[in-house]
Structure 1
Amino acid sequence: MSDESRFATISSRGATWVLALLLLLVAASVWFAVSKPSLQAQPIAIVKSVQQAQTQEVGGDDIRLYKAIVERMRAGENYYAVAVEEQRARGFPTQPFVTVRLPTLAFVLASLGTMWGHVLEIAIALAALYVWYQKLAAYKIIQWRRWALIALLAAGLSPVVNPKIIYMHEIWAGALIALSIGLYRPKAWLPSFLIAACALALRELVLPFVLLMAAFALLQRRWIETGAWSGLILAFFGYMFLHAQGVASVVQPNEPSAPSWMLANGPAAALHFLWQSLPLSELPAILAFPMIIIGLFGWVCWRTETGLFCLLLLLGYMLAFAITGRPNNFYWGYLVSPLLMMGFIFLGPGLQDLQAALKRGNPKASE
């Protein structure tokens, strides 16, 4: 039933425009890959840690910082005092308050220990694979495509298998977002809602995902669900207020502030963020950037509410990455990167329908 693409009834002229736009975007991505070397020349310690996890110690100042905070919390120290002290000692800015991570993940890891924390992280990823398989079965997607999607989602979630980067908030949040979307059903939305709340408690950058969930519920007049999402958003701002107060209690007014994140590096930055947070980081940008565009186009092809939601989510975060973030913030891409390559499995039906539309407009081609 849902193997039918968004282009099943498109006209020949429309198919021509769609394919022309796709080729233009692919060409633009190649141009961005070869014309923005400054974005690609940044030291990427976290990626190296992922790629070389079997042979070297944990890499990346951020990971060392979060690890030190968790270890000191396990010894009984206060989160905010420890976090600010560690950031100050390592030359990290402590202002504005968002430079200090929300304490949720540190409390989880300090309470469970890193071994059980890693077990929990892997369990979240496995649950995401399971619920997405069930979701595709409900949509009556043919079996081989279901398994292909699971393989692609597993590739996107692969950073969770590395225990050395368990301290990265975005990897946890990205797995929880994938799980929440896979769980979502309009008439049984509470499990998805609870998982989304956990993701938002881990990283404030999950807020756009929650806002989009609320918008979909509102537009479809699911009033109780809309109220729940709205309540979660209000609770989040309350949590952020308490977090700001906690940071302010230990930060001195004259401490250094972080440079602006509003750099507006454009589409190249958005592609760079996703490239470096995917297994595609093994490929040169000139190959990986077009693959990102094609993955997005796959989500365009799938004519379902889920397909539209994932497309808008990916495009929304890419727009944010184009406007905000420094090159060394590429790990923000982990928030949505698990979803990207899943779009590949919907390309086949979409391209087949576009080809059929072109043939209808050119009878000689079908003779």
Structure 2
Amino acid sequence: MLALLVLLLAACLLALRSPAPPPVSGDPANRAEDQADVVLYQTIVDQMRHGGEYYAVTAQALRTGDYPLKPFVTFRLPTLAAVQGRLSEAGSVVLLYLAAAAVALAWWVRFVPAFGRAPPRIVALLLLGGGMLVFVQADLMWFHEIWAGLLIALSLALRRPGRWVEAVAIGLAATLVRETAALYVAVMAAAAWIEGERREAFGWALATAVLAVVVAAHAHAVTQVVRPLDPASPGWAGMLGFGFFVRTMTLSTALSLAPLGLAAPLVGMALFGWAAWAEPLAARALAVFTAYAVLLGVAGRVDTFYWGLLVAGPLLIGLAFVPDALRDLARAATGERRRRITVTRVVR
């Protein structure tokens, strides 16, 4: 296990050679360039508030911004825009903070059986906050991955053996905001089947079926507004490898404040911590991280690094389990075991 840990940390250092998105200037005057996608989605919502129809408005916004319009997945599902179009900007901010608070509360409850005392639970909660640092930035509330990531984190925290309906419902909501959250639903369905939770597995499968119907209707609606000469996407076979996943995790969490040479190994340690937690929830979370690592490493492009937001929220929680895990591995590696000596008195 120590050897595997060393290999994992070495693999995380591949992030040092992984491409990074263009740096953000931080100047409010350059917001249109620094946050082009965010401005795009905000523009769509603003036009819907003034009576615009989602697909027509989105098609025009994509053309204006020189974005591809083919295939149909270049159009986001209309769920988030429809909700925000019926809320004021302040209302959307309040809803965002309520969602983040719900995630924090759900995970606090999950920490109770894992940590016997309040101080380590507080540390774990602070690590969750570090993973959610991007999620509570009001100027990013137009970004679909922000909301889908919060819903995935909430769904994962709420799932318990024998109690899965809420988790499935919230997981379905995540997919209806951003269809790439379907990978989370697929992993949870597979995990439920492997664990023998057949009813839960069928629940996740039903959520996938609902998403399939919605996506089919979405695809049909997109074909009504796309023109033959509209540009197509260059594809998603980026093949950037595991190092790109690690870099996206650093960009999507508080690790972005640290040098990459330090932040990248911390991503590996967080994954190690999740693997060390003897809890079915941890196994599922690790499977979800692994699935998105494959997705980002194979299909991700430099400009789609924000896919990492879907799973970045709970990632750093794993660091809370690292001290005990390293202690146990060190004891096993050094053979530190107390020999049991049984003294028996025989009286004749």
Same fold judged by TM-score > 0.5? yes
2:11, 2:242 within 8 Å by CA — same for their partners in 1?
no
CA-CA distance at 1:60 after TM superposition:
1.2
Deviates more, 1:136-145 or 1:297-306: 136-145
1:264 corresponds, among 212, 232, 239, to 239
Q: Distance in 1 between matches of 2:127 and 2:16?
A: 27
What residue number does 2:22 align with? 43
- What letter corresponds to residue 44 of structure 2 in structure 1? I
CA RMSD of aligned residues (A): 1.9
What SS class does the counterpart of residue 268 from structure 2 fall into? helix
1:61-210 superposed matches below 5 A:
61-139=36-114, 141-210=116-185
CA-CA distance at 1:329 after TM superposition:
0.9
Q: Deviations over 1:315-345 (max 9, x none)?
A: 1101111101111111111101112111000
1:287 aligns with 2:262: yes
1:337 corresponds, among 312, 316, 339, to 312
Q: Distance in 1 between matches of 2:55 and 2:86?
A: 16
1:254 corresponds, among 226, 229, 232, to 229
What residue number does 1:357 align with? 332
CA-CA distance at 1:44 after TM superposition:
4.3
1:29 corresponds, among 7, 12, 17, to 12
What SS class does the counterpart of residue 97 from structure 2 fall into? helix
Q: Distance in 2 between matches of 1:222 and 1:338?
A: 26
1:296 corresponds, among 271, 292, 305, to 271
Change over 3 Å in CA distance of 1:138–1:166 after alignment to 2:
same
2:249 corresponds, among 256, 270, 274, to 274
Q: Distance in 2 between matches of 1:215 and 1:252?
A: 39
2:12, 2:264 within 8 Å by CA — same for their partners in 1?
yes
% same residue: 33
CA-CA distance at 1:140 after TM superposition:
5.2
Change over 3 Å in CA distance of 1:333–1:252 after alignment to 2:
same
What 5-or-longer segments of structure 2 have no aligned partner?
339-348
What SS class does the counterpart of residue 247 from structure 1 fall into? helix
CA-CA distance at 1:182 after TM superposition:
1.0
Change over 3 Å in CA distance of 1:153–1:193 after alignment to 2:
same
1:44, 1:328 within 8 Å by CA — same for their partners in 2?
no
2:171, 2:185 within 8 Å by CA — same for their partners in 1?
yes
Normalising by the residue count of structure 2, what TM-score does the alignment of the two structures yield?
0.92
2:165, 2:203 within 8 Å by CA — same for their partners in 1?
no
What SS class does the counterpart of residue 112 from structure 1 fall into? coil
Q: Distance in 2 between matches of 1:135 and 1:292?
A: 22
What residue number does 1:9 align with? none
1:96, 1:258 within 8 Å by CA — same for their partners in 2?
yes
What 5-or-longer segments of structure 1 have no aligned partner?
1-17
- What letter corresponds to residue 188 of structure 1 in structure 2? R
Q: Distance in 2 between matches of 1:28 and 1:179?
A: 29
Q: Distance in 2 between matches of 1:140 and 1:125?
A: 22
Deviates more, 1:211-220 or 1:229-238: 211-220
The number of aligned residues is: 337
What residue number does 1:305 align with? 280
Q: Deviations over 1:159-203 (max 9, x none)?
A: 232211110111111111111111112222222122111111100
CA-CA distance at 1:257 after TM superposition:
0.2
Runs of 4+ in 1 over 4 A off after TM superposition: 55-58
1:273, 1:331 within 8 Å by CA — same for their partners in 2?
yes
Q: Distance in 2 between matches of 1:116 and 1:57?
A: 22
Change over 3 Å in CA distance of 1:29–1:228 after alignment to 2:
closer
Q: Deviations over 1:265-296 (max 9, x none)?
A: 11221112212111111222211111111111
CA-CA distance at 1:56 after TM superposition:
7.5
- What letter corresponds to residue 251 of structure 1 in structure 2? V
What SS class does the counterpart of residue 149 from structure 1 fall into? helix
What SS class does the counterpart of residue 335 from structure 2 fall into? helix
1:231 corresponds, among 206, 227, 239, to 206
Q: Distance in 2 between matches of 1:152 and 1:202?
A: 26
Q: Distance in 2 between matches of 1:347 and 1:298?
A: 5
What SS class does the counterpart of residue 257 from structure 1 fall into? coil
What SS class does the counterpart of residue 149 from structure 2 fall into? helix
- What letter corresponds to residue 6 of structure 2 in structure 1? L
What SS class does the counterpart of residue 46 from structure 2 fall into? helix
2:15, 2:244 within 8 Å by CA — same for their partners in 1?
no
What SS class does the counterpart of residue 188 from structure 1 fall into? coil
Q: Deviations over 1:280-313 (max 9, x none)?
A: 1122221111111111111111111011111111
CA-CA distance at 1:230 after TM superposition:
1.1
